[in-house]
Amino acid sequence: MKLQAALLVAVLGLTTADPTWPADTDELEEIMFQTTSTRSRKFADSVSPCTNQASGPGRHNAAEWLRTAFHDMATANTARGIGGIDASLQYELNNGENTGPGFGTTLTFMSPYMTKKSSMADLIALGVYISVRACGGPAVPFRAGRRDATTAGPVGVPQPQNAISIFRTQFDRMGFSPQEMIQVTACGHTIGGVHSAEFPDIIPAGTATNGQIALDSSVAVFDNKIVTEYLDGTTQNPLVVGRAIGLNKHSDFKVYNSDRNVTMQAMASAAAFNDVCKTVLQKMIDVVPPSVILTAPLEPYQVKPVGLQLTLSTQGTVIELTGFIRIRTTNAPLTSIAGLTIDYKARNGDNDCGSSGCSFPLTVQGVGRGLDDSFAWFPIARNVPLASGISSFTVTVRRTDGTSTVYDNNGASYPIQDAVFLQRYQSCLLQSSGVTTLTAAVRNDRAELPVRAIISYKTTQTGSVVPALNTLTLDLTRGPCIGPYTLFSVSTTIPGGRSVEATFDILSGDRVDAFKKANILGGTCQSRPVSNVCSTPAITSAVPSATSTTMTTISSPTPSIYRRQTMGPYTLVSCWSEPPAARALTGASFAYDGMTLESCLSNCTGFNYWGTEYGRECYCGDALHSGSAAAPLADCGMPCSGDGTQYCGGGNRIELYRTTATKTSTSTTAAAGPTRVPSVGGFVRVGCQTDNTGARALSGATTAGDDMTLDKCAAFCSAFTYFGTEYGRECWCGNALDSLSSPAPVEECNMRCAGNPLQFCGDGNRLELYRASAASSATLASSTTATTGGAESSVRLSEATSSAAPPSSLLSSSGRAVSSPSASSSSTPSPTGPAPVPTVSPFTLVGCQTEATSVPRALSAKSTTSNSMTLADCAAFCTGYRYFGTEYAAECYCGNSLHASSSVAPLDDCAMPCAGDPLTHCGGPNRLTLYEDPARASTPPREPRRPAFAGDFVWFGCRTEPTGARALSGKERAADDMANESCAAFCEGFAMFGTEYGRECFCGDELHAGAAGAPEEQCSMLCAGADDEFCGNGNRLSVYVRQEDEA
């Protein structure tokens, strides 16, 4: 019988339904919750208990895990959608901001758990939940889906010597308010301590036990003592008291005291502390780029199949089903469970499972625990008849009180396909060398389809303690028939020395035995079963749809494969070779399981040629590459993945078809070829635009289809400012372009639309970009757009007037021509869309301008950002300057001159609506909507300089910041009105001062020994408060020395 819903909740403690199994998060779910005893994943072993010092005396691993996550996140720029928890820390261990061995040992411990289903970034975030709970803290919700960076991120981890103004700026960049800055610092410092090896000036060698001083008195407990001891004055936190004060490295005090201790007092109770930390630490690990979509917080399944595997028996007489059913017993004691019953369906979806029937019982044979949960394990060992097979099952939990509950995977049943599976007995791995043999059992109704193995393996990376994930795809060779199955196998050597951490996917068409761990394989392959009988299984479509299985009844042998001489208006040419390092057909390409000749023909309608290759690939074109040539027809012997009776080429061989239709000559109208469509359904064409691998250029919505056209994409994106088509069949929408996206040459958007070969639909990582047509009233350039063959040209104003000098009001300080609004058309902007504004008193529109290609920015005197930015706000902010410019909807920049590397851009590039006024333009990605005050245009600005004198100080030179320290460590400040004179006044009484990064000021009596001389031109960032002076640069100080101290 089934329990009523209310009773079920009471018995099992259910709060939410299980995910539908299998889920992409299954691997992370097991790593997160299976921490001890039966089938433990052992991810918590080095941090639980919290006192664990597995990495050495004085090193609390839990604290190192928590701070690893913060350091990985800390270089994020949330306003620009860059960074966050992305595992870029692995490439940043030697940049001076991430000192000590803790980060490296943490990443090294986590590396074996990294797979294509569990990114290193997700593992770092999961480490926060594990470390905090292991130390008695709250359960920080963990969501999955992060992507790993492939290079180092920018610098910017807060350092203890920073001024509070710099701390606030850094945490604001990460997306944290001043209050959250205090909270996340306290929550991150409640476990662990400060080490002499990393901070010898704070803790001299030999002055602390095991070289560490704890941050509070409960070093291995996640509790509120970090707060209460600070407030009552008993703290021994070395970042609050002691030597750090004299060194200006008492960073915890500077942060905690920054709001007169209001936030710390609010966190004083144990309950408040836990609540705050749970919230702020989740926010910390959820800092990701906007292109990353995180899942809902992971919860453990109530009922979960684990490690299921089908294998032909050693004699080849039955299918062995093995694995486990894991039952969550957190809120229901194991003693209340009498056992489980599995009810499975045969291959054809019915209940005819042979003489043994379709039901069998399971008995508990193990228990396990997580940090918050307990589980019971019920192993499966069942022989399934070859003739009937298996397709799905349900689980019945039988209780000692006579009640029972059926778990049916949210109505879908638990799927288990028997079309293709890893044949474990005939597969083996020699871990010492990586020599591997993989064998697959493939049902005979699919034996004509290609069988492939995709191996995910790891190799050592230069400059990282984390290995790189690689993919190897291999074709399996057909072997003997074993009753209704045929064996396929392949042998290879897995490189990298970590073969035991590899995973395998075994594919036959659209069926896959996925994510098999290499560690289940033995070192020696067993001999194959012997069978002289080859049979064809009976299959029907009665299997539940959730199994992703589409089957038909086979009452006769599979039809034999043969070659199609004609396909619609196309005829077979022959088998054709691919040229070296190129493609025979380059008009468009597609790849998918289920490929047939009919589907490829449909994809390539309108092209002169099309062909299929490698069973699942389709290529189109109007001409063949000169390096391509005819090949023996036998070379094209691979069946189509979607129709085993058709040939779809071979390895580097195309099954080539050619049109029989009469083609229009090249002298006829352009309608015979694809065109650039100037406007589609309320949108106008912008041009070709790059897409990004890490963050999509347009991220509002997306769809894809083999019938994709510009018209279809425009209709789908009708509610957005932009749409773009990509790769022939993809459509992307958005209201803003990602900052990393940039214009691309038009010839790079040359792939025809899948649903209309007379239109262009972008290309690989290239968008054919359109924006709402109500956006423009002025055109910077006189444009000529060719509607044939994909060519287009644009003549800018500065080019068109090259025979005469431009008016003086259009010259920048470097003498370059800047576009003028007087060249615009007189059309009236539509009130329904954004448009350029000609005047924002006292400024007038100059045009669109590129950002500088090097530091500093195009306008670098001062800047601000606001989520309610308007042109009027920016103009007011820049009062007194010659120029202001808005960028990326929410950014405002001021200056008296443009950087020499900034140049004129088409006005269409500056079409992003202002954050606070969607009817006006505020630049674009790396593009400024530029305005000028005419009253100041006639006064040439002074060229930036390095003043020889500042107060009582004289110029000394450009110096580097030393690793892990400050060149000048007396005192410091940061301000948006910083200039060398104001820094000199602030450093009165010191022998030296230095300005850095435009707005920072440092004082001291001597330079750190690690501060080396640098070329003067490296100190070239304009002062925030004086744009005719230089104030250092990133990690570069403009240093001045008091005159009487100069020697």
pLDDT digits (tens, 9 = 90+) for 270-306: 999 999 999 999 999 999 998 898 999 999 999 999 9
Q: What pLDDT does 890 receive?
A: 81
Three-class secondary structure of residue 146 per DSSP: coil
Note whether residue 225 is domain-resident: yes
Query: Are 449 and 384 members of one domain?
Result: no
Q: What pLDDT does 14 receive?
A: 42
Q: Which of 326-330, 706-710, 787-791 has the lowest mean pLDDT?
A: 787-791
Query: Are 859 and 927 members of one domain?
Result: yes
659, 691, 719: which is the final residue of a domain? 659
Residue with structure tokens 């240093």? Answer: 1039
Query: Radius of gyration (Cα) for the chain, nearest Å?
Result: 34
Query: Are 242 and 135 members of one domain?
Result: yes
Note whether residue 389 is domain-resident: yes
Query: Are 452 and 486 members of one domain?
Result: yes
**Which range has highest mean pLDDT (227-231, 608-612, 652-656, 827-831)?**
227-231
State how many domains the chain has: 7
Q: What pLDDT does 529 receive?
A: 79
Note whether residue 756 is domain-resident: yes
How far apart, in Å, do the first and last CA atoms of the chain sit?
A: 94
Model confidence at 690, in pLDDT bands (50, 70, 90)? confident
In sign, the C-alpha dihedral spanning 128, 130, 135, 138 is: positive
Residue with structure tokens 């850095």? Answer: 996
Residues 6 or more apart in contact with residue 745 via CB below 8 angstroms: 688
Model confidence at 941, in pLDDT bands (50, 70, 90)? low
Distance of CA 359 to the CA centre of its chain: 44
> For residues 716 and 738, what is the distance between their CA atoms, to the nearest angstrom?
20
Structural tokens at position 47: 């941090």
Name the pTM for this structure: 0.58
Q: Which of 131-145, 445-459, 956-970 has the lowest mean pLDDT?
A: 956-970
Task: Give the rounded percent of residues in the chain with a pLDDT score beyond 90.
Answer: 52
Query: Are 515 and 591 members of one domain?
Result: no
CATH code of 368's domain: 2.60.40
Residues 6 or more apart in contact with residue 109 via CB below 8 angstroms: 46
Structural tokens at position 269: 């109770």
Task: Give the rounded percent of residues in the chain with a pLDDT score beyond 70.
Answer: 87
Model confidence at 16, in pLDDT bands (50, 70, 90)? low
Note whether residue 668 is domain-resident: no
The residue with greater pLDDT, 30 or 792, is 30
| Boundaries of domain holding 698 | 673-775
Amino acid letter at 475? D
392, 415, 438: which is the final residue of a domain? 415
For residue 793, list its beta bridge partners. Answer: 784
Buried-exposed string 330-364: b where 16+ CB fall within 10 A, e elsewhere: bebeeeebbebbbbbbbbbbeeebeeeebebebeb
**Which range has highest mean pLDDT (94-98, 567-571, 934-938)?**
94-98
pLDDT digits (tens, 9 = 90+) for 869-878: 899 999 999 8
pLDDT digits (tens, 9 = 90+) for 697-752: 888 888 887 778 898 999 899 888 899 998 788 898 988 888 788 888 888 888 88
Model confidence at 785, in pLDDT bands (50, 70, 90)? very low
pLDDT digits (tens, 9 = 90+) for 192-201: 999 999 999 9
> For residues 72 and 84, what is the distance between their CA atoms, to the nearest angstrom?
7
Note whether residue 799 is domain-resident: no
Model confidence at 614, in pLDDT bands (50, 70, 90)? confident
Peptide linkage before 856 cis (omega within 30 of 0): yes
For residue 883, list its beta bridge partners. Answer: 895, 932
The Cβ of residue 748 has, within 10 Å, a number of other Cβ atoms equal to 16
**Which range has highest mean pLDDT (293-297, 340-344, 647-651)?**
340-344
Q: What pLDDT does 803 receive?
A: 27
Q: What pLDDT does 182 receive?
A: 97
What is the DSSP code string of 42-74? -TTTTTSSTT--TTSTT--HHHHHHHHHHHHHT
pLDDT for 557 beyond 60: no
Note whether residue 497 is domain-resident: yes
Query: Are 476 and 605 members of one domain?
Result: no
Q: Which of 282-296, 417-431, 681-695, 1004-1018 has the lowest mean pLDDT?
A: 681-695
Per-residue CA distances from 1024 to 250, 307, 671, 893, 1032 (Å)? 27, 60, 56, 11, 11
pLDDT for 1021 beyond 60: yes
pLDDT for 260 beyond 60: yes
Tally of helices (H runs) and strands (E runs) in the chain:
18, 59
Query: Are 584 and 692 members of one domain?
Result: no
Query: Are 266 and 356 members of one domain?
Result: no
Q: What pLDDT does 822 receive?
A: 30
Query: Are 394 and 492 members of one domain?
Result: no
Residues 6 or more apart in contact with residue 446 via CB below 8 angstroms: 419, 420, 508, 509, 511, 644
Note whether residue 556 is domain-resident: no
Q: What pLDDT does 539 receive?
A: 66
365, 386, 415: which is the final residue of a domain? 415
pLDDT for 663 beyond 60: no
The residue with greater pLDDT, 599 or 145, is 145
Note whether residue 757 is domain-resident: yes
What is the DSSP code string of 882-930? SEEEEETTTEEEEESS--TT--EE-GGGS-PEETTEEEEE--BTTEEEE
Query: Are 264 and 346 members of one domain?
Result: no
Mean pLDDT across 441-445: 95
Q: Which of 436-445, 566-575, 818-827, 847-856 has the lowest mean pLDDT?
A: 818-827
pLDDT averaged over every residue in the chain: 84
> For residues 157 and 168, what is the distance between their CA atoms, to the nearest angstrom?
12
Model confidence at 753, in pLDDT bands (50, 70, 90)? confident
Query: Are 506 and 534 members of one domain?
Result: yes
For residue 232, list its beta bridge partners. Answer: none
CATH code of 953's domain: 3.50.4
pLDDT digits (tens, 9 = 90+) for 97-115: 999 999 999 999 999 999 9
Query: Are 688 and 827 members of one domain?
Result: no
